[in-house]
């Protein structure tokens, strides 16, 4: 066997160790961003979650005005936690639509009565199909959608008061 | 006191390992006769580590909550068997078990080795001591299993309920024995490279260790696969999860080694390659241990991420594997290749076997680490899953399975007999299986279809080495080979059947409703609360029928309070022709229950095949060991007759 051939294992080992060491220094970030950021929304048409509000279609979101799409559920505790932030955003004139995941009308009504209702439309996603199509892996998540229906930003987990200026800026930039 | 005794035993073992390593350096540099001293030091070191492990078992069995590890991983309400199994159901305890096996394997090497030269044995024991030394340091400085808590808390935090299963008592120790048993092959290879005595004697000394480790790895992987199948409630037997792959990679390397070592033992050829494989097999074990213990890859085996421990293990891995590779690069050139062989011969058959296994190993290795490297280089996140592995490794595995049927028929050096004619019947069977699947199930996808054909061919051709000889007089090793190769055919048939014929039904059902899955109609009678020793549960009663008689299945959904966790306990009914697999999920607000039902024809063949493969390996090992005893007895008699 030639010397070059016999050095291959050492070179491969060096590569392996470098890769593993990199991962140790920079631990994996478990949040996986949606692949759809900066792309058009996938087509969907969700029925109304409540009789009093319209459902949500993907074409509703290319409305000529940037909006937020909040993915929530009445059974989700952090969703109740972020409700005041959504209420504040609504007060500042932000249009917010919602997708209710694996939920029922009664439960949603109770949830909104307790935590406030910032939503213009609520689509009901009983089997999480649209949620998965959007590349969202849990609740709550919030998407910033621009005037042409293109996803500009994704927030994984509940929004906090500290996020408000950033969200407003992104909405302004998405006109 | 028990914990302190364990810690003291661990420190003493560390001292002995250091002494053992120094003895090796002395022996190799000068001609001190240290062989006897080394053997006894190695045995003492193994015995002391065993004492340390026994002490840890004792503190777990007696639920001594003043030991931090027991507090974090046990609970006095746990059934006794899980208290004991909890010893290795955590990081520190399982690393202590790892080291214990390493040291005890070294002790047995010292006790039993008689085929290699004294110098190679000394070098191998020195290598084993150096390996142990690093891992002792890891335990003592980064993962002390005996650390105390003061004051002692009243009760422990409990063990992950997924691990509260008889599978846990069996699966990790078996895998570890296999993983770490390969360390002896590694040390023998390092020893032989140091002394330059890479020959058939070395191969014969190494072979039982490789066989033993390989049998245990096979059993461990098979048991782990079944455990994941029934405990996780996902209905799959293999998920290409990084931790599963971490156990598969040493197995693939050991399988290749098992075959190439025969060439070295019988013909003195493939020296450098066999040494490389021996080094790689244990290196893969260490990589696997690192991946699992550092928690750096996302996996269903969610172990805690700990950069300090990870760094320690990575440094050890780099030193050991790097040193062995450098040794190989320096000494590999001095190895003279043995007897030549022709293109069609058993040697070249085994070379092809090794090439295919190595390529599959490479595929699994790349697939497991690819996401990490892509993220390191481009920042993009992606995952590699079953579609890649099945599409790339599947066809190669099928080709390998065909060659498994051919290889054992070839003779050493040069094939003169008409082998193809002997394969006519198996080939006909394989072709018939293919035609039958095409006629009966035209919609079947290509891999399971080929799987059935190859399984039929291999089932028949694996028996050919037994044809025309008296089965009682055939060596046990030949029996072992035939059974193991037949086991591959059995497992392959199970996988093909599972892939082609599984019916699945996911639905929400209200009590009284009936669902159909495959030939079964399953009625949900009702869901009732129940309780176990340390959990509360919901239990569904399902009445399943396929024409005659009713079978009752009771899948449960468990809720554990320490730590708070929910698990699904599937209910599985096994029939001669398959398994009915049922899982109870969550309730929906309208009073329905999520049910997952599978009918999996002949799925049990997968694990039966795995067990047959392991049985074949065990028989082969038995054959080697009993022949060795007989030879020894004969030699002793001969000596008696000559010198008496």
Q: What pLDDT digit, counting tens, does each position of B145-170 carry?
A: 898 887 777 777 766 666 667 766 77
Q: How many CB pairs (< 8 A) connect A and B?
A: 64
pTM over 0.80: yes
Q: Which positions in chain B touch A28 (Cβ < 8 Å)?
A: 296, 298, 375
User: What is the DSSP secondary-structure string of B96-165?
Assistant: HHHHHHHHHHHHHHHHH--SS-HHHHHHHHHHHHHHHHHHHHHHHHH--TT-B-SSPPSS-----GGG-S
Give the percent of chain B with pLDDT over 90.
Answer: 38
> Which tens digit of pLDDT belongs to each residue from B6-31?
999 999 999 999 999 999 988 888 77
Give the nearest partner residue to A1 out of B272, B290, B375, using CB atoms.
B272
pLDDT in tens, B514-568: 888 888 889 888 888 888 777 788 888 999 998 878 889 998 888 877 666 777 7
* CATH (residue range A45-173): 3.40.30.10
Least confident of B35-39, B265-269, B405-409, B506-510: B506-510
CA distance B365 to chain A (A): 10
The predicted model gives B451-470 an average pLDDT of 89
Distance from C-alpha of A130 to C-alpha of B317, rounded to nearest angstrom: 45
B27-57 as b/e: b if 16+ CB within 10 A: bbeeeeebeebbbebbbbbbebbbbbbebbb
Alpha-carbon distance B322 to nearest alpha carbon in chain A (angstroms): 7
Contact B599, B520 (CB under 8 A): yes
Chain B: nearest CA to A48, how far in angstroms?
A: 18
The residues with which B507 forms a beta bridge, in sequence order, are B595
Q: Do A104 and B590 touch (CB under 8 A)?
A: yes
CA-CA distance, B393 to B615, in Å (whole number)? 25
Question: How confident is the model at residue B198, as a pLDDT?
Answer: 87
Closest alpha carbon within chain B to A1 = B333
Domain range annotation of chain A: 45-173
Contact with chain B for residue A27, Cβ under 8 A: yes
What percentage of chain A has pLDDT greater than the value 90? 23
User: What's the gap between Cα B57 and its chain centre?
Assistant: 23
CB-based contact B197:B118 (threshold 8 Å):
no
- Cβ-Cβ contacts under 8 Å, A8 against chain B: none
Inter-chain residue contact B276 with A7, CB threshold 8 Å: no
- Interchain contact A16–B (C-beta under 8 A): yes
Tell me which residue in B290, B305, B369 faces A27 most closely, judged by beta carbons.
B305
Which residues on A lie below 8 Å from B373 (Cβ)?
Answer: 19
CB interface of A with B, residues 46-85, below 8 Å = none
């Amino acid at each position: 066997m030639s010397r070059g051939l016999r050095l291959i294992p050492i070179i491969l080992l060096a590569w392996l160790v470098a890769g593993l060491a990199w991962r140790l220094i920079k631990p994996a970030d478990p949040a996986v961003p949606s692949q759809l950021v900066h792309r058009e929304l996938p087509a969907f048409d969700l029925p109304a979650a409540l009789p009093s509000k319209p459902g949500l279609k993907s074409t509703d979101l290319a409305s000529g005005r940037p909006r937020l799409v909040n993915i929530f559920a009445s059974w989700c505790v952090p969703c109740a936690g972020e409700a005041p932030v959504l209420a504040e955003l609504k007060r500042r004139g932000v249009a917010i639509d919602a997708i209710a995941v694996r939920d029922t009308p009664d439960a949603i009504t109770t949830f909104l009565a307790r935590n406030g209702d910032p939503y213009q439309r609520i689509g009901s996603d009983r089997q999480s199909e649209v949620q998965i199509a959007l590349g969202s892996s849990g609740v709550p998540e919030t998407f910033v959608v621009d005037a042409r229906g293109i996803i500009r930003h994704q927030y994984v987990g509940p929004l906090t008061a500290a996020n408000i200026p950033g969200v407003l800026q992104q909405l302004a930039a998405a006109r | 006191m028990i914990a302190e005794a364990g810690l003291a035993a661990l420190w003493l073992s560390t001292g002995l390992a250091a002494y053992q390593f120094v003895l090796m350096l002395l022996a190799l540099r000068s001609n001190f006769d240290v062989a006897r001293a080394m053997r006894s030091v190695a045995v003492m070191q193994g015995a002391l580590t065993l004492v340390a492990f026994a002490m840890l078992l004792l503190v777990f069995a007696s639920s001594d909550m003043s030991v931090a590890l027991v507090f974090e991983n046990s609970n006095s309400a746990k059934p006794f068997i899980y208290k004991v199994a909890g010893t290795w159901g955590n990081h520190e305890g399982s690393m202590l078990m790892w080291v214990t096996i390493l040291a005890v394997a070294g002790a047995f090497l010292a006790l039993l080795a008689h085929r290699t030269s004294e110098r190679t044995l000394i070098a191998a024991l020195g290598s084993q001591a150096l390996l142990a030394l690093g891992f002792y340091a890891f335990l003592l400085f980064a993962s002390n299993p005996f650390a105390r808590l003061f004051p002692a808390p009243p009760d422990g935090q409990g063990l992950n309920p997924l691990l509260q299963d008889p599978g846990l008592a069996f699966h990790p120790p078996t895998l570890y024995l296999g993983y770490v048993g390969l360390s002896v092959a590694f040390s023998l290879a390092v020893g032989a490279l140091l002394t330059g005595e890479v020959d058939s004697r070395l191969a014969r000394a190494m072979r039982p260790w490789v066989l033993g480790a390989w049998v245990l790895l096979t059993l461990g992987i098979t048991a782990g696969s079944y455990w994941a199948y029934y405990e996780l409630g996902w209905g799959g037997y293999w998920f290409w999860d990084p931790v599963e792959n971490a156990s598969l990679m040493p197995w693939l390397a050991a399988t290749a080694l098992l075959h190439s070592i025969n060439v070295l033992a019988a013909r003195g050829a493939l020296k450098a390659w066999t040494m490389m494989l021996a080094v790689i097999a244990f290196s893969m074990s260490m990589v696997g241990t690192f991946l699992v213990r550092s928690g750096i890859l996302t996996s269903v085996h969610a172990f805690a991420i700990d950069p300090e421990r990870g760094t320690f293990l990575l440094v050890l891995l780099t030193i050991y594997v790097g040193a062995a590779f450098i040794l190989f690069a320096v000494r590999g050139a001095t190895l003279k290749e043995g007897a030549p062989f022709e293109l069609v011969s058993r040697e070249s058959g085994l070379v092809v076997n090794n090439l295919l296994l190595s390529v599959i190993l490479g595929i699994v290795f790349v697939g497991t680490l690819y996401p990490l490297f892509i993220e390191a280089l481009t920042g993009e996140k992606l995952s590699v899953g079953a579609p890649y592995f099945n599409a790339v490794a599947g066809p190669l595995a099928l080709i390998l399975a065909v060659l498994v049927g051919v290889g054992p028929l070839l003779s050493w050096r040069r094939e003169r007999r008409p082998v193809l004619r002997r394969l006519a019947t198996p080939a006909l069977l394989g072709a018939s299986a293919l035609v039958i699947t095409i006629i009966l199930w035209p919609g079947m996808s290509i891999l399971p279809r080929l799987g059935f054909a190859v399984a039929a061919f291999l089932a028949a051709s694996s028996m050919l080495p037994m044809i025309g000889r008296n089965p009682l007089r055939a060596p046990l090793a030949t029996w072992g080979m035939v059974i193991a190769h037949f086991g591959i055919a059995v497992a392959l048939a199970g996988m093909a059947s599972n892939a082609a014929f599984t019916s699945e039904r996911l639905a929400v059902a209200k009590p009284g409703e009936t669902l159909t899955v495959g030939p079964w109609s399953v009625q949900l009678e009702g869901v009732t609360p129940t309780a176990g020793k340390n959990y509360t549960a919901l239990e569904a009663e399902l009445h399943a029928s396929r024409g005659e008689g009713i079978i009752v299945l009771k899948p449960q959904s468990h809720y554990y309070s320490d730590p708070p966790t929910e698990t699904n306990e599937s209910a599985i009914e096994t029939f001669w022709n398959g398994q009915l697999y049922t899982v109870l999920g969550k309730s929906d607000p309208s009073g329905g229950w999520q049910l997952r039902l599978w009918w999996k024809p002949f799925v049990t063949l997968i694990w039966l095949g795995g067990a047959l493969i392991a049985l074949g390996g065990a028989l082969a090992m038995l054959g080697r060991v009993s022949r060795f005893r007989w030879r020894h007895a004969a030699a002793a008699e001969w000596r008696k007759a000559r010198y008496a």
